Structure 1
Amino acid sequence: MASPAKVKTLTTSDPHAVTEALNPKTTKFEFAGPIGALGVSVVTPVTLYLLHLGCSEISGGCPPPLLSLPSTLQSSRWLNAMWDTNVFLVYLGWYAYCLLCWRVIPGDWVEGTVLRNGGKKLYKMNGFACGLLTLGLVVGIILHHGPLSFTYIYDHYLALVSASIVFAFFQACAVYALSFRKGALLALGGNSGNVLYDWFIGRELNPSFPWADSINFDLKTFNEVRPGLILWLLNDISCMCEQMVRRGRHAWPTDSMILINLFQGLYVVESLWNEKNILTQMDITSDGFGFMLAIGDLAWVPFSYALQARYLAFTPRELGWVQSAIVFALNFAGYYIFRVSNTDKDNFRHGKNPKNNLKSMKTARGTELITSGWWGLSRHPNYWGDWMMALAWCMTTGFHTPITYFYIVFFVVLLTHRAMRDDEACRNKYGDDWDKYKKIVKWRIIPYIY
């Protein structure tokens, strides 16, 4: 494994002038400004709790009877389940384990995009190996000790949610404070001067700790892939183990539980395998790291995304061959669109067009925009595939409750908002060429619909 080179930096005789030039004041707010930032900061953790309250055995069902909600909220069982110091220490141990895996497991060092200061950061890509090791350890534990040995996540679900929220809050405060150190490169959207907004959106582009620069550790990419994404997979497995324990000795999980673990497991493993692709995503290239990304990576992904598996753990559903086949076909049709479109984009971006089958439009910047294939049908075909997969995941729970379909509703809102942000960024980047491109590729996500 090649050792990482030092990150290039722009030098000047007046570093204060460079800092001022590279870190202009943010004048345009997202999420309706500080009020919206406060709202999202409160609503996100509250929603995680509400999803558990609205769909769990503690509350009495999915959804629970309305008359039982007041007594459930006052129940010492539900309140006690929200915090456990031992569980918080377990969560810290999990995060430390992920850090250790990043440090000791070999991986390729990949350059990111050019930063505003003219340099590039180096990123260690070993997420797939970290995930494979973790999965191997978990499977070994289950095979040796049985499914009861891996129900801890399910049993301490609410306390783990609280632990991840607290840790995300701590991280956001720490990186905000560190962003005021000399020489920090700030995010263009996070330097407004409003403490709440900048803390939420992320003031620094690539937050760093005193010990991190010497080993090229990047908190943002680390959080994006490892602790939350792998924990999502482990959460699903824990829910499957819980269902197996309830169904009795030597019982198999239901077809619906197998499908949700297969679908989401493939999604996680595929994301880890293609880890380097995140280096060109908006989260990494332009967004700062604040509470928005911290709670999204550490709490929202592993716990809200596992809603279907958790529901199936205490409400087992057998889909049967016909419904299973429909759900399976929908998921893999979406996966095909998602994977092929992303591969075409990444290959084209790196100058690879092996069959010369992708047409493009030259821009005044000297770069090109794809105008054929999946990218000729819509400007975000990968989001289209994502939506299809999201619907298939929700359908594994059948049609007995609307709560397990929260994921598809959330994903429609998330990806629509992201597509709008991306379109605005491209309009600023390409100018009139972007308007010309939109006349060629008219549809934003789904052809002839949106």
Structure 2
Amino acid sequence: MSNYITQTELDKVLHQDAYTSKNTKNKKYNQIDEKLDSEIIFEFGGPWGVTAMMLGFPTLMYYMWGCLYFNRGQLVSPFNLEFWQLVAEGASPTWYSTKIYVVFCLFELFLAFYMPGPIVKGAPVARLKGQKLDYICNGVTSWYATLITSYIVHHFGWFRLTDLIDQFGHIMSVAIISGFIITIVVYTNAILQGNQYRMSGNFFYDIFMGAVLNPRIGKVDMKMFAEIRIPWVILFYISVSAAIKEYELFGYLSPSMGFMVLAHFLYVNACMKGEECIPTTWDVTYEKFGFMLIFWNYAGVPFTYCYSTLYLHITSIDNDAPLQHSLPWTIFCYSLLLAGYYIWDTANSQKNKFRMLVNGSYIPRHTFPQLPWGILKNPTYIRTKHGNLLLTSGWWGIARKIHYTADLMMAFAWGFITGFETLIPYFYPLFFVAVLTHRVSRDIERCSKKYGKDWEEYCRKVPYIFIPGLI
């Protein structure tokens, strides 16, 4: 089945009742949306919980990095002063590490401003009475420009990519500090300009959740920029750096390290090639730009989701040989990764392109790879009294959160490729389980309030959340 919709097919779809209903295509701003969007709900344990997270998570990052680098991934007593002295020395911010991180972020921001790409409409913004904002989607061209630039600077010796893995602790500290600085600057600027929204009145909680909903620098949406242009690109290059280092040390690239490069390439490439789908996601339409999103994207994701790569790197140096597994186990890990990727990519494509068709913002893209079954030609759905359509076909007729299931398949594959000597490489999948459980509960509660009886009908038609037949 072709993964593109021709203009004739597009016109046919857009003239179906599902897409041209006056109440759907040009529906007026809905007061239910404004009420739900402005509702203040204390999450993550409220002010005390988020304060503990803002202090505790950077500490946890240093602790787990220290365990990997100084104890081969085995847990150390958190009260060991000698351990923390090693961490302080190995992760102190330096001028060189600051230059690496800041230049990279500014380079990506430069690309976001000037690289070509289509402009798409986002979902209706409740705060703006249903107005749809414009988003420039030049992620693909920026991604290719980054790949080409990185090859040139490494090839000619202007910047060795292996410095990323060699300077990891120092760069991580710069990222952590940057996360706090950007959070304070964004929060202060929102207050001074009067752009704050959905404020709780508690300083620490509002710092964590954020004050501004749609921050922009010129035409660049900073939430969308932070979500894909920084974390996943850094994550990929950490694996590339470790892979080059392994090749330089041993003269070959192991299947395990090659797995991590492939895994992180697939993820970042998927984010870039499907960037036009992101403006309608929960993070962009609802979440404010506070510590939760800022710190997590600028520091948390790239410097914690890489623990599998770090473990493989450290183990190879300690053992004087790369970590390798039996052929059947290696094949299993690759198969789990690719199966999860296919489901995740096509499920996200089905849902988000369905949304774009509904919003009239669909544009055919020829970015690589476009996988079979990425677009549903004759989707089934439930039309809610609210005016929205709930997709009930494709992957979304199998389970309501099938994309999360696929995401977890990939996440656990990242851990499995490291073996079972330590739990630290499993931080990402285990943390992800907790995050998704919280996010799904938020989503179910919100949708239940928003759609009422229609949500009950939807859950009856698609009864399973993650795994058909089980849960």
Letter in 1 for 2:349: T
Question: Cα gap change, 1:355/1:94 in structure 2, threshold over 3 Å: closer, same or farther?
Answer: closer
Runs (5+) with no aligned partner, structure 2: 1-33, 316-321, 359-373
Question: Cα gap change, 1:273/1:27 in structure 2, threshold over 3 Å: closer, same or farther?
Answer: closer
Task: Provide the rounded CA distance (Å) in 1 between the counterparts of 2:244 and 2:38.
Answer: 51
Task: Provide the rounded CA distance (Å) in 2 between the counterparts of 1:137 and 1:169.
Answer: 29
Residue 42 in 1 paired to residue 63 in 2? no
Letter in 1 for 2:162: T
Question: Cα gap change, 1:432/1:226 in structure 2, threshold over 3 Å: closer, same or farther?
Answer: same
Task: Provide the rounded CA distance (Å) in 2 between the counterparts of 1:193 and 1:158.
Answer: 36
1:351-408 C-alpha deviation (Å, 9 max, x unpaired): 3897655322221123221223321221110001001011111111122222211111
Letter in 1 for 2:396: W
SS at the partner of 2:120?
strand
Task: Provide the rounded CA distance (Å) in 1 between the counterparts of 2:119 and 2:350.
Answer: 23
Task: Provide the rounded CA distance (Å) in 2 between the counterparts of 1:423 and 1:294.
Answer: 25
1:395-422 C-alpha deviation (Å, 9 max, x unpaired): 1112222221111101111111111111
The corresponding residue for 1:222 is 225
The corresponding residue for 1:128 is 140
Indicate if the aligned counterparts of 1:240 and 1:257 stay in contact, CA closer than 8 A. yes
Q: How many residues align?
A: 415
SS at the partner of 1:361?
strand
1:2-21 C-alpha deviation (Å, 9 max, x unpaired): xxxxxxxxxxxxxxxxxxx9
Indicate if the aligned counterparts of 1:178 and 1:207 stay in contact, CA closer than 8 A. no
Task: Provide the rounded CA distance (Å) in 2 between the counterparts of 1:350 and 1:26.
Answer: 26
SS at the partner of 2:201?
coil
Residue 252 in 1 paired to residue 265 in 2? no
The structure with higher relative contact order (CA 8 Å, sep 6+) is: 2
Task: Provide the rounded CA distance (Å) in 2 between the counterparts of 1:182 and 1:46.
Answer: 33
* Deviation for aligned residue 1:448: 3.0
* Deviation for aligned residue 1:439: 2.0
Task: Provide the rounded CA distance (Å) in 2 between the counterparts of 1:369 and 1:410.
Answer: 29
Letter in 2 for 1:83: P
1:203-243 C-alpha deviation (Å, 9 max, x unpaired): 110124xxx3xx32221111111122211111111111222
Task: Provide the rounded CA distance (Å) in 2 between the counterparts of 1:68 and 1:273.
Answer: 45
SS at the partner of 1:297?
helix
Residue 289 in 1 paired to residue 274 in 2? no
The corresponding residue for 2:202 is 194
Question: Cα gap change, 1:87/1:40 in structure 2, threshold over 3 Å: closer, same or farther?
Answer: same
* Deviation for aligned residue 1:181: 4.0
The corresponding residue for 2:409 is 388
SS at the partner of 2:71?
coil
Task: Provide the rounded CA distance (Å) in 2 between the counterparts of 1:299 and 1:228.
Answer: 7
Task: Provide the rounded CA distance (Å) in 1 between the counterparts of 2:211 and 2:76.
Answer: 44
The corresponding residue for 1:304 is 304
Mapping 1:26-425, distance limit 5 Å: 27-56=40-69, 59-63=70-74, 69-75=80-86, 78-116=88-126, 117-118=128-129, 119-143=131-155, 145=157, 149-182=160-193, 184=195, 186=197, 188=198, 191-208=199-216, 212=217, 215-247=218-250, 251-315=251-315, 316-351=322-357, 356-425=377-446
1:65-92 C-alpha deviation (Å, 9 max, x unpaired): 66995422233x7435332233223321
Indicate if the aligned counterparts of 1:203 and 1:288 stay in contact, CA closer than 8 A. yes
Task: Provide the rounded CA distance (Å) in 1 between the counterparts of 2:245 and 2:327.
Answer: 24
Stretch moving more, 398-407 or 295-304: 398-407
The corresponding residue for 1:3 is none
Question: Cα gap change, 1:70/1:246 in structure 2, threshold over 3 Å: closer, same or farther?
Answer: farther
* Deviation for aligned residue 1:321: 2.6
SS at the partner of 1:149?
coil
Letter in 2 for 1:172: T
Stretch moving more, 306-315 or 366-375: 366-375
Indicate if the aligned counterparts of 2:270 and 2:345 stay in contact, CA closer than 8 A. no
Letter in 2 for 1:202: G
TM-score normalised according to structure 1 size = 0.86
Task: Provide the rounded CA distance (Å) in 2 between the counterparts of 1:317 and 1:239.
Answer: 13
